[in-house]
Amino acid sequence: MESGSVSAKSTIIRTCAAACFAALLTTTVSSQNAFQTPSATDGELVDYIAATVNGEAVTLSAVRQELRWRDLPLVDVSEQRRILQLLIQQQLFLEEAQNFVIVSDAAVEREIDRMAGAMSRETYLASRRAAGISEGDVRERVREQLMLFDLVQREFRPKTAEVSVTDIEGYYQANLKEFTLQERYRIEQVFVSSTSDTSGDSAARLTTIRQRLTNGDLTLEDLANETDDDPSLLVVSTPDPQPMNLLLPEFQNALPTLPQDEWSAPISTESGWFLIRVQETLPTTRVPLGTELRTQIQRRLEQQRLESTMNAWLKERETQSDIRILDETLRPDSPPNSPQSTQQRTTLE
């Protein structure tokens, strides 16, 4: 069965699953076929089975391949341990998907084109090869992503409770702080860098500029033109209002006593000196529960419920499955920095 729209796939792959499964959907990898065997040197173990899931092998190479996809260090044992757990959980989901999901080659190719984005397919695949990921690995990975997407759509979403109007309104009322916009400020700034200012007294220089701006002898536009010839001077106008907590601490200290539309005295910071003027103050407001916000809350609740459904399934399936971690250093309860063990491994011939 081929998947639905690309945008729908991307949304579900990124957001619909539980914490363990969400990570897998964004970066899936086959535990049997999608790995490259490292080059062997004298006395070096090339590969081994790190774990088995109902008799299916999850190899060290599969773990390393997943680390490559995520641009994570290959030798970090804590990351290897985390990725192995994800691959084990992935295998359980894929076992279920293989019972009724078939993904066509055409669907795989379309998804690769989507992943390539603005670059050509050839450029994208070349970038994967440069990271140690073959074209075959990419196709296998994409196929598994689409299988997992269809599994979510066919197996888990129908079992997830629908979100009602009452649910949406209840969530809104219970999380009013989240939907409250704190007081915000639209600020103009004049900045002089202490390191590149050749005047020798940045504060005095800004005091003069402040006086000229206040008297109307100088406009910000004129001052901005001067910055072309003076790299130490910068004029900044904040287009979007900012809440107090996102402003520099020195600005936060000055704002309570600074009248609107008046320039401050020079303000010293680690990077240099500032003049600031508040163009506009927007009061604390609450986002109304309109159509757009209702839709956002509905989607959030749907994802949470879907996540809960999938987590419950995964927990039950784990108890029913034969999962064996053969590398003791990669077990969840191993010390974080335990040395790599050479025991309890099954070497691949």
Dump pLDDT digits (tens) for 253-312. 999 999 999 999 999 998 899 999 999 999 999 999 999 999 999 999 999 999 999 999
- One-letter amino acid at 75 equals V
Position 3 scores a pLDDT of 43
What domains lie within the chain, and their CATH numbers? 6-162+297-347 (1.10.4030.10), 182-285 (3.10.50.40)
pLDDT tens string 160-200 = 999 999 999 999 999 999 999 999 999 999 999 877 766 66
The whole-number average pLDDT for the span 57-61 is 94
Residue 316's alpha-carbon distances to 28, 54, 86, 182, 310, in angstroms, are 22, 14, 16, 44, 10
Phi, psi for 49 (deg, rounded to 5) = -85, 115
Q: Of the spans 20-34, 209-223, 303-317, 330-344, which averages the highest pLDDT?
A: 303-317
Share of the chain above pLDDT 70, in %: 82
Mean pLDDT estimate for the chain? 84
pLDDT tens string 97-132 = 998 899 999 999 999 999 999 899 999 999 999 988
pLDDT tens string 199-255 = 668 899 999 999 999 999 999 888 888 777 788 888 988 778 999 999 999 999 999
- With a cut of 70, say whether residue 54 has pLDDT above it: yes
Position 199 scores a pLDDT of 63
Share of the chain above pLDDT 90, in %: 66
Provide the Cα torsion 332, 334, 335, 338; round to 10°.
-120
- With a cut of 60, say whether residue 24 has pLDDT above it: no
Q: What's the rounded Cα separation, in Å, for the pair 309 and 314?
A: 9
